[in-house]
Structure 1
């Protein structure tokens, strides 16, 4: 089947995301909006995420389509800015009449889309990587109308996992420099509570505004109190500028990093020789057949982006869940898709994995009225009443320029730590 990408972003991205090999006729098309950070500080995440959604839709289309139709993407660049994201999402909903928006990647993009566009319009929104606890609070307060889902764990849990990992690695006296947005503030708040309860000391806490040419003032402030290491909550572009300034101004070359800093761009910009004592946490995965399929086949479509890129794996799952939900709903109506999202993750259903053959199986079962349980690239997932998932956290470090997984902390262990605070 035919996979049509309607990109309104940079010509380069439009060229790299096209899928000319998929050029068969289709009876109908269902257009899905994709608002991702293709440029700006989070551009690396959004480019990986958009490719993953493209791959998921390709696989479903080649399996027969969703509700008898091909899934197509109308991809918009948020430029990593909330106001731009709102403008793009508004066009997608009001002009293109999309029933679903996949995105954004970062919370400071997803939250404005949700509050200004999708929740009030009754349009499903699935974020692959927005981890702010604010999103849970909004759902709890009835502000999402049940239309928001995310395929990443909340920072309310990741902050605790990071605190435990820091203590275990002997990083007990930390300075913190963090991006001054909803993601950065919430991550640090959760981290601080757990880190201090576990016996750690925070020598300073400095917020920074994005896209500055220099962060020497923030680094100078961060060095007060003689910290042993820096907890840097950032994105690759700004984060590398801050890390270089930290090292050049005499800061210890020991770092604790958030999930988005698991990035070759960051490592290359800072210099691998300075990051051999850099540790980080990410939302983890439970390996399934989907994981194996994704890592083996992502390169066919990614244009050189690695399958380990932040947000890549969970973006495929976001696309797959949306596509299967449309098939289950049997229509492109937002409310029906919203209700079907949990149904394609039915614990009593037949396990379904990623890829064309598995999606053919899923579509046949749906046609027969039988339940399915999609088990994704990040593992078996289910959404709670707030659209959140739970799962393990990956513990990693950088050595000789390579990111290696060194362990895992379970959701149960994190909850136990939080329960004892």
Structure 2
């Protein structure tokens, strides 16, 4: 049976500032499997955010701690782990997953039915928006990444502007891959591009030569690969070895040093990619200066790292604002810690100390995140810029940015 808000408050108050109690937040991350690199980076980011809030004094007289579970990049495993966190550990919040094929089953099978807050740092499927529109999330779901409905538009415009006019698509056969393919295709064709083929693949296969052969039909000029680093590398190597043109467009998750090293930087030279972007703030500077040392060597630019810190920070501040470790109160408090009318707060212990003092005084705060200004709409979605990047000399370099306004303009122009 879940602890009542009063019981938790009394427990925390009994610590009398000695930090003798813990408030446990559940985390289901892809620590292993095809998305393992993302989940490892994300988990460390949440831990860093909680570390910073705890150093600022903690919340409700307690320390924030995580109970972190590995989804193994599989939806069924994720559901089992989330069920344990919710039903046995009685957590009021689950942070995760990273990929949509993990977050969606957690949401539909566990958190929404149980009335538990879920915050995904990196699940971008439009299905999550639709679930909210259909009233199936109870308002308990939030994410700190833009929807693929918008990334598909940004990627299509970037491809056309970069001279990629005739593409084959190979995409992972899950909710994320299907939606990304559909959103991109609609925008790309509306902008004058030609899709020669769209080939799905199932994860964790030792060989993808059949999929690559199918994708080469129609003489494409380049390949849009919607994948994750491990399988993506296998597919890219097969594409190259079978004589496919060495021109690539890549989704956000392929911004990975592991992927580049596995394929070979020379073969990916000039490859294009898109990612949810950031608008630099003092939080961005703080995170980039401190994350690598905290994480044990993970680069702050690792996919999901920046927005996972923001997910952790927002959850921690929302617990303080709620005044109790209860899901409904935390859900209702989340938007109030990114209040546009509140006093601007950035990342780090000193800033969080200021935020916690303002919250204790009943004043609004506006946490400006590592990814920039975070503001949730009625569906728990955010909007923001997109980073346009290329692979140069075996490294990912920024080539430009599409603002949220620019994406909206393209969207309006192709309706």
Classify the TM-score, shorter chain. Answer: over 0.9
CA contact (8 A) 1:85 1:109 kept: yes
1:327 is displaced (CA, Å) by 0.5
- Select 1:393's aligned residue among 372, 386, 389: 386
Question: How many positions carry a matched residue from both structures?
Answer: 398
Q: 2:240 is matched with which residue?
A: 247
Q: How does 1:285-296 map to 2 (within 5 A)?
A: 285-296=278-289
Q: 1:154 is matched with which residue?
A: 147
Q: 2:215 is matched with which residue?
A: 222
- Select 2:353's aligned residue among 347, 360, 365: 360
SS at match of 2:160: helix
**Using the alignment, how far apart are the partners of 1:64 and 1:330 within structure 2?**
15
SS at match of 2:197: strand
**Using the alignment, how far apart are the partners of 1:211 and 1:66 within structure 2?**
42
1:380 is displaced (CA, Å) by 0.8
- Select 1:80's aligned residue among 73, 87, 90: 73
Q: 2:372 is matched with which residue?
A: 379
- Select 2:114's aligned residue among 71, 96, 121: 121
CA contact (8 A) 1:101 1:124 kept: yes
**Using the alignment, how far apart are the partners of 1:27 and 1:331 within structure 2?**
16
Q: TM-score, normalised by structure 1?
A: 0.94
CA contact (8 A) 1:397 1:406 kept: yes
**Using the alignment, how far apart are the partners of 1:180 and 1:277 within structure 2?**
26
**Using the alignment, how far apart are the partners of 1:78 and 1:25 within structure 2?**
34
Quick check: 1:94 aligned with 2:97? no
Q: 2:224 is matched with which residue?
A: 231
- Select 2:177's aligned residue among 155, 160, 184: 184
1:25 is displaced (CA, Å) by 5.5
CA contact (8 A) 1:175 1:203 kept: yes
1:27 is displaced (CA, Å) by 2.8
Q: How does 1:6-155 map to 2 (within 5 A)?
A: 26-155=19-148
Q: 2:335 is matched with which residue?
A: 342
The answer for unaligned runs of 5 or more in structure 2 is 1-16
Q: 2:200 is matched with which residue?
A: 207
**Using the alignment, how far apart are the partners of 2:217 and 2:36 within structure 1?**
32
Q: 1:307 is matched with which residue?
A: 300
SS at match of 1:280: strand
Give per-residue Cα distances to partners, 1:267-286, cap 9 Å, x unaligned.
00000000112100000000
1:411 is displaced (CA, Å) by 1.2
The answer for unaligned runs of 5 or more in structure 1 is 1-23
1:412 is displaced (CA, Å) by 1.4
SS at match of 2:339: coil
**Using the alignment, how far apart are the partners of 2:55 and 2:181 within structure 1?**
43
SS at match of 1:298: helix
Q: How does 1:264-343 map to 2 (within 5 A)?
A: 264-343=257-336
CA contact (8 A) 1:253 1:277 kept: no
1:67 is displaced (CA, Å) by 1.8
**Using the alignment, how far apart are the partners of 1:247 and 1:398 within structure 2?**
16
RMSD: 0.8
SS at match of 2:46: helix
Q: 2:402 is matched with which residue?
A: 409
Q: 2:167 is matched with which residue?
A: 174
CA contact (8 A) 1:67 1:328 kept: no
Q: 1:196 is matched with which residue?
A: 189
**Using the alignment, how far apart are the partners of 2:59 and 2:195 within structure 1?**
51
Following TM superposition, the consecutive aligned residue runs of length 4 or more in structure 1 with deviations greater than 4 angstroms are: none
Q: TM-score, normalised by structure 2?
A: 0.95
**Using the alignment, how far apart are the partners of 2:332 and 2:109 within structure 1?**
22
1:300 is displaced (CA, Å) by 2.1
1:420 is displaced (CA, Å) by 2.2
1:395 is displaced (CA, Å) by 0.2
1:369 is displaced (CA, Å) by 1.0
